[in-house]
Structure 1
Amino acid sequence: MRRFLLPMYLLLAACVPISPNETATRAAFVDTSLPAMKVFSVPRPQVTTASNADIARDFMDLSMGLESGRALDVFTRFEGPITVRLVGEVQPTVPSDLNRLLHRLRNEAGIDIAYTTSDTANITINAVSRANIQRFLPQAACFVVPNVSTFAEYRQARRSNRVNWGRITDRTRLGIFLPNDASPQEARDCLHEELAQALGPLNDLYRLPNSVFNDDNVHTVLTGYDMLILRAYYDPMLRNGMNRTQVMNRIPTILARINPAGEGRPATRLSRTPRPWIEAIQRALGPGSSPNARRAAVNEALSIATAMGWDDHRRGFTHYAMGRILQSTNPEAARHQFLQADAFFARSSETGLHRAYVASQLAAFALSEDRPDEALHLTSTAIDLAAQHENAALLSTLLMLRAEALDLSGRVSAGADVRLDSLGWARYGFGSDWAVRAKLREISALNPLNRARGSL
């Protein structure tokens, strides 16, 4: 189940408050229409640099357990060709995003999977309203269920063992439920996460720095690491119904064959992530917590991370979470937390996207404090990282920040070009026109020139 954590790129507005009924400025848009939506075309997955020893351990933890921490008795997957269909009021971008994903799964993971219109499909993707999803799973943006195809079937079976992942012994039929009233990017993110879970691992691990199989939601499309895990998952040496020992005995041989580069790399053997840290992070960032509860939870998470002696991305993510929570009440303390987060993220070559998120926050501070050159420097590398990882919401945010920094440095024409480029990506990342314009107003409000002119 995809957790409904707050996206990392949506908290820039705390630097300068604005009201929802403010009108746009000259920096926001020049006419009443927005340019056409932009979409990603050629995937650029990063090849994993992890050792096979680490990947084997990750594979076992991902494949033989649930997110709750419960161990699974048997390994389950589909056997034979897999078919996928779409039903419901599907957003216009979903069919093409699904086709791109299926193409990647065939070519990168070697999975025999294809689209169909038949009602006998192995996997049925149901486009339903967010309200319908949250009626049954309030914290989920989307979810996947075994042994059903439609929402009506799920409603009837939802309290039975028929849809209990811990009780299944094979996979033949599954239902995925994704929102049809979310942004195109959120719908696509749900496709990637839920289809990957429908096909393969049911667990998520916070210790993975470069994976969708991680509840931190940093990565939103399947990475090179994820495709390697799925390729191993459907290797002929494994089969449905194997127990843990049988899988564990075969996975080193599989990885040696499909990922020979990982054989000679030293293992990092990151420590396991304790449940109290996971629960504290979820309380801090998930829905339903009061501001005081969020602060208490993130302080608890940071205490645990410090006591564990972490110096990896989990420590960085904890500082980032702290920065987000402090941002509206203590901006200077928040900036300090973002800088600490960046220092920990900088220790690994696999956390470039994490640093791009930090860059968006630090660039917002630089812009609001009349340091355009610093904002331009921070956004320069981050923009390509956001594009490489197909995160249109982050990409458009960074471009908007860069446009304001160019304006502030006197390069108004260049700023207008960058701002125009940001809008097509924003339509994919944020969806509706009002959401795009709200993001423009939010970032425009950071620019001291706009505040000085009294236009906001």
Structure 2
Amino acid sequence: MPVEPVLTPRARPAGLVPPTAPPIQATSQQSAELRAFLAQVQSSQLTSGLLRQDGGGPDTPFTADMLARNFEQIVFFNEYAGPGVRPGSASALRRWAAPVRLGVVFGPSVPPSQRARDTNDVIAYARRLAQATGHPISVADTPNFLVFFVSEDDRAETLNANAPALPGVTRSNLAPVRDLPRDAYCAVAAYASGTNQSTYTAAVAVIRSENPDLLRLSCIHEELAQGLGLANDSPDARPSIFNDDDEFALLTDHDEHLLGMLYDPRLSPGIGRAEAKPIVRTLAQEATAGPS
């Protein structure tokens, strides 16, 4: 049976309340209200010094011990519930074996200028992810990882029409990313339809097109990386996008180390935390190129 081992909705920061859904009205009005709210989210976060794009610096040092700890928390625990999965429960390592082929799908409401920007951002980020992991990742015509940019107006219809073409994806198990709560502005679900339930065979990322430019780019960075197997968040991870505090908008050097460790051949899909622990320790020391 296919599974949904990753579900990572990006939600609103504390203190901001999403617009209340109006009584039965045209969804275009809902989308306009959501766009205004998300612009407020981005403005508030930037004013608070969040959504940093510098990747960290002298104020965010990390050691091999810290990197190994963060890897274990992000890779070997579940953030969200799924079929037979409790939030916070332990998990085996999950990642892709086949090349990751990204496909970009837009809802009809997304304007051409936004489509061009988002497509270019996904292409550039795919190159960075491939370099960080050493795993084949590219935008391709025969995708197994679909990235949707959709509005409140067209999200359900666009996902229902396209996502079930992926192996193991059905309208039923697509629901967590298709039926987004109003306070989530992007999400990803990864699926394993083969005999090894720790090896991903498909993924679906959903990014609200109502997001302003930096929030959309932030969603691209987090959801695509989490769809590769960095499935959890940790409040201790810094500098990192895998932390619910939203301090960083874009993938950091720390996060590139996590991706490189995840796809190192000394680890394999299905390995547990205890067995992996000494390997993770070695990889973290190599990544930081010095003692802890």
Q: TM-score range by the shorter chain?
A: 0.5 to 0.7
SS at match of 1:83: strand
The answer on whether the counterparts of 1:125 and 1:176 sit within 8 Å (CA) in structure 2 is yes
Aligned mate of 2:256, from 227, 231, 255: 227
Aligned mate of 1:186, from 215, 233, 237: 215
The answer on whether the counterparts of 1:142 and 1:177 sit within 8 Å (CA) in structure 2 is yes
Shift of 1:254: 1.6
What percent identity do the matched residue pairs reach? 24
Structure with more of its chain in helix, by fraction? 1
Q: Does 1:2 align with 2:13?
A: no
SS at match of 2:96: coil
The answer on whether the counterparts of 1:62 and 1:201 sit within 8 Å (CA) in structure 2 is yes
User: Which residue does the alignment assign to 1:64?
Assistant: 76
CA distance in structure 2 between the partners assigned to 1:137 and 1:143 by the alignment: 10
1:114–1:206 Cα change, 3 Å: same
SS at match of 2:238: coil
User: Which residue does the alignment assign to 2:185?
Assistant: 141
CA distance in structure 1 between the partners assigned to 2:106 and 2:79 by the alignment: 28
Q: Does 1:198 align with 2:227?
A: yes
CA shift digits 1:91-121 (9 cap, x unpaired): 3310111122112212344332111021xx2
1:81–1:11 Cα change, 3 Å: closer
Please give the TM-score of this superposition, normalised by the length of structure 2. 0.66
The answer on whether the counterparts of 1:88 and 1:126 sit within 8 Å (CA) in structure 2 is yes
1:193–1:245 Cα change, 3 Å: same
SS at match of 2:116: coil
Q: Does 1:88 align with 2:100?
A: no
Q: Does 1:122 align with 2:156?
A: no
CA shift digits 1:280-333 (9 cap, x unpaired): xxxxxxxxxxxxxxxxxxxxxxxxxxxxxxxxxxxxxxxxxxxxxxxxxxxxxx
CA distance in structure 1 between the partners assigned to 2:99 and 2:130 by the alignment: 11
The answer on whether the counterparts of 1:130 and 1:182 sit within 8 Å (CA) in structure 2 is no
SS at match of 2:121: helix
The answer on whether the counterparts of 1:85 and 1:123 sit within 8 Å (CA) in structure 2 is yes
CA distance in structure 2 between the partners assigned to 1:44 and 1:109 by the alignment: 21
Shift of 1:75: 1.1
Shift of 1:9: 4.0
CA distance in structure 2 between the partners assigned to 1:45 and 1:12 by the alignment: 15
CA distance in structure 1 between the partners assigned to 2:187 and 2:77 by the alignment: 17
Equivalenced residue count is 215
The answer on whether the counterparts of 2:147 and 2:205 sit within 8 Å (CA) in structure 1 is yes
The answer on whether the counterparts of 1:144 and 1:194 sit within 8 Å (CA) in structure 2 is yes
CA shift digits 1:143-188 (9 cap, x unpaired): 111239xxxxxxxxxxxxx8xxxx9532110111111232222221
User: Which residue does the alignment assign to 2:274?
Assistant: 245
2:11 is matched by which residue type in structure 1? R
Shift of 1:45: 4.0
CA distance in structure 1 between the partners assigned to 2:131 and 2:268 by the alignment: 21
Unaligned runs of 5+ residues in structure 1 are 14-42, 149-161, 266-456
Shift of 1:8: 6.8
Q: Does 1:52 align with 2:64?
A: yes
CA distance in structure 2 between the partners assigned to 1:44 and 1:110 by the alignment: 23
Larger radius of gyration: 1
The answer on whether the counterparts of 2:129 and 2:225 sit within 8 Å (CA) in structure 1 is no
The answer on whether the counterparts of 1:77 and 1:199 sit within 8 Å (CA) in structure 2 is yes
CA shift digits 1:366-418 (9 cap, x unpaired): xxxxxxxxxxxxxxxxxxxxxxxxxxxxxxxxxxxxxxxxxxxxxxxxxxxxx
Please give the TM-score of this superposition, normalised by the length of structure 1. 0.43
Aligned mate of 2:128, from 97, 104, 110: 104
CA distance in structure 2 between the partners assigned to 1:130 and 1:210 by the alignment: 32
The answer on whether the counterparts of 1:67 and 1:204 sit within 8 Å (CA) in structure 2 is yes
Higher RCO structure (Cα 8 Å, ≥6 apart):
2
Shift of 1:44: 6.0
1:2 is matched by which residue type in structure 2? R
2:186 is matched by which residue type in structure 1? C
CA distance in structure 1 between the partners assigned to 2:44 and 2:89 by the alignment: 35
SS at match of 1:245: helix
CA distance in structure 1 between the partners assigned to 2:127 and 2:179 by the alignment: 33
How much is the aligned-residue C-alpha RMSD, in angstroms?
2.8
1:107 is matched by which residue type in structure 2? Q
SS at match of 2:227: helix
CA distance in structure 1 between the partners assigned to 2:106 and 2:219 by the alignment: 15
The answer on whether the counterparts of 2:42 and 2:215 sit within 8 Å (CA) in structure 1 is no
Shift of 1:11: 7.7
CA distance in structure 2 between the partners assigned to 1:85 and 1:12 by the alignment: 30
Unaligned runs of 5+ residues in structure 2 are 1-8, 17-40, 48-52, 81-86, 156-176
